[in-house]
Amino acid sequence: NAGVTQTPKFQVLKTGQSMTLQCAQDMNHEYMSWYRQDPGMGLRLIHYSVGAGITDQGEVPNGYNVSRSTTEDFPLRLLSAAPSQTSVYFCASTRTGYASPLHFGNGTRLTVT
Amino acid sequence: GQQVMQIPQYQHVQEGEDFTTYCNSSTTLSNIQWYKQRPGGHPVFLIQLVKSGEVKKQKRLTFQFGEAKKNSSLHITATQTTDVGTYFCAGGAGGSYIPTFGRGTSLIVHP
């Protein structure tokens, strides 16, 4: 099993550019989510999904878009990148139902200049 | 909304010293999870506690869940350089499977 796979690992964008961060999992997990990690701020939830066709906002959703067309994939779109979106992004998945451990991808380090 | 506070933010120790990080929730939790993130890595699940007053051990790591299910702690005995990283607690409330993360405690171990 590959687990949770994120691409790319590193990305540099210019302000105003758009891009998609990819996330795929092969564990048949219903729940998938995106976090951003900034120094001293811990992990903040951006968007999450409890199944194909279902998405919802987390703590810091502004400037990001998601969709879930399949169980396996949960891409995160930056519509118009801003320097404030410079961060490390983690995708995570788990089974729904009672609390289960989150499985994290290796992360994408994004710099917006 | 639910808030999970974690202290301290940083902790420097000499190798062999003990280390403790504390997690406090503004609301009663149904469960608490602990994760470890090595420098440059991603968070990795360590353990989950669900019962009031529960204590679990993993080698030199001891995890506790408070009687009121609003606080938790992670204690490492005789730290080693391999313990370096950031430790996060994540609290779940009710039947939610969406945990709220604390800001983490970064452990720096000096040889």
pLDDT at B101: 94
CB contacts of B102 in chain A (<8 Å) are: 42
Rounded distance, CA B17 to CA A60, Å?
38
B-contacting residues in A 76-95 (Cβ below 8 Å): 90, 92, 94-95
A19 touches chain B (CB under 8 A): no
Residues of chain A with pLDDT under 50: none
Hey, is the C-beta of A39 within 8 angstroms of any chain B C-beta?
no
Per-residue pLDDT tens for B34-81? Answer: 999 999 999 999 999 999 999 999 999 999 999 999 999 999 999 999
The predicted pLDDT at position A100 comes to 87
Q: Inform me whether the C-beta atom of residue A7 falls under 8 Å from chain B C-beta atoms.
A: no
Phi/psi of residue B21, nearest 5 degrees: -120, 145
Which residue stretches of B12-104 are H helix? none
Going A79 to A13 to A42 to A105, the CA torsion angle's sign is positive
CB B24 within 8 A of CB B5: yes
Residue to test with chain B: of A23, A43, A100, most B Cβ within 10 A? A43
- Give me the amino acid identity at B54: E
Contact between B104 and A42 using a beta-carbon 8 Å cutoff: yes
